[in-house]
Amino acid sequence: MATLAAAAARQAASSLRLSTARSAGQSSSIIQRRGLAGAADHHGPPKVNCWSDPMSPSKWKDEHFVIVSLTGWGVLIFSGYKFFTGGKGKKDEKLVEAKH
């Protein structure tokens, strides 16, 4: 336990000495400054809005493709549910009204 504490203290002291030994000019040259250089580099054709070219989903922006896909699946599942259950929601309302 004491050896671990001593090793940690030595490591902290050596890192403190290294950080105070460097000047501000030397430490700024070590820091990598990339900025947003990679953001402007497009690989492939530019992406478009889904309403600009609705017949080619490969050209759509990723977020538009996700929204359209999830909406399509939701409509498909809901319409399948309504088809296979026979629209029981309306029948239940008529039975409730007839009992009163």
Q: What is the pLDDT of residues 10-68, one digit of tens each?
A: 787 776 665 555 555 565 667 776 666 655 566 788 899 988 998 999 999 999 999 99
Q: What one-letter code names the amino acid at 4?
A: L
Instruction: Report the C-alpha gap between 100 and 90 in whole angstroms.
Output: 16
pLDDT at 64: 92
Radius of gyration of the chain (CA): 32
Q: How far is CA 53 from CA 64, 71, 93, in A?
A: 12, 18, 43
CB 61 within 8 A of CB 47: yes
pLDDT (0 to 100) of residue 100? 58
**Confidence (pTM):** 0.45
